[in-house]
Amino acid sequence: MKTCKERELTLEQFPSPQDLWQRHIGDKHFAPEIDHEANEMLRLLIEQMAQTQGITEQLKAENQMALVGAVNNIRSAAEETISKQSIYD
């Protein structure tokens, strides 16, 4: 198996987390209520984490790049939390 360096992949060529997840689950489909529940948990967790970290409309107005970075970090952490809860509960 060739390493990434041997294949000379650029960052854009690496699969996204969503692509990797789809490869992992394959054709498995989750019940709509489970999917809905997970999405609702994710939405609530992101809101709570953003509030805890002081993400405000003022930050949005003053520094959009900082806002985007902070929200991306929060979303990643929330998705990881939900994934772990789904797997281990």
- DSSP assignment of 4-70: HHHHT--GGGSPPHHHHHHHHHTT----HHHHHHHHHHHHHHHHHHHHHTT--HHHHHH-HHHHHHH
Q: What is the pLDDT of residue 9?
A: 54
Number of domains in the chain: 1
Q: What is the pLDDT of residue 4?
A: 46
Question: Quick check: pTM over 0.75?
Answer: no
Residue 42 pLDDT > 80, yes or no? yes
Domain limits for position 56 = 4-88
> Residue 45: which pLDDT band, with cuts at 50, 70 and 90?
very high
Residue 63 pLDDT > 70, yes or no? yes
